[in-house]
Structure 1
């Protein structure tokens, strides 16, 4: 399941173009900065592995800036709990940093649908007892779709599905991550204009 380099370049180019477009269209509309905590649970898939798909928890932090009511740019750090491939005795540890553009569509003052598109820079370690630990670093496309609920002004809860394609390389093997994510985010308001 080797990932073509052209696809990786496209996966990086799309968020960068989105960032440029968002900044040029709404450069004077930074409405808030936000921080958040996120947690989730993932199922990993690998076309080569023949056992049951390994699963595990994910936790992370995120920071972002909103550009008007619909667009935002976010970066986050995630660490994934160790995955156990029971059929082979392999253990996989992963952590990543991602950058993404987020778009929201409001249904009401409290509810919205959102989508995120970006790139994740990951570090994967693969180990088997009695064998050498293998390490790989690389870039993959990250997407997420979900629902946002505003608990109170400035405090939001998001729940969604996150997909990261092709983490790993030819040496460690690649896997896809399918995750259910939940995050709690706090917005700080328009700091640039001195509003509270």
Structure 2
């Protein structure tokens, strides 16, 4: 998993509540187990017209936001089904951080497993950040996970909170397998001891 320490990027404002996983990546694109290639299908139903052409009103189709790596959005983001394809699609379209007042629990957990940073902030702070993001490509944010800080375009610093274990995992690029492998020496020690005491288990 790619490490997340600090990014400096444009943020796209998406002032919508209850954005569910079917809006993020519709079910007809769930046939793959690959984590790449889904980005072009993210937000399909509001990103494209029926003929496949781009909807110019969709925020990330606008020139100022095509390279956005941060999405600022409304409460209960990622609700609906528990598909892990949702964070895959968001990552593949270039996003690294989602900032919202609240997230659906399963989506929130899936983000950390895939290197997509979800940040919860009070609605009044979200409103301020949304107003910043509305200014377009000149409004650049810095998200610093190591220090749990967001620096707004005007230089003001906003602090956020995060579980220490999840912060450690993201900063070091550790998914579930990586976290397990951190204990590699202890696992090997246990296996050697078990093999000596219960050799029949290894036959």
Q: So what's the TM-score if we normalise by structure 1? A: 0.23
Higher relative contact order (CA 8 A, sep 6+): 2
Larger Rg: 2
- Which structure: greater strand fraction? 1
1 or 2, which has the higher helix percentage?
2
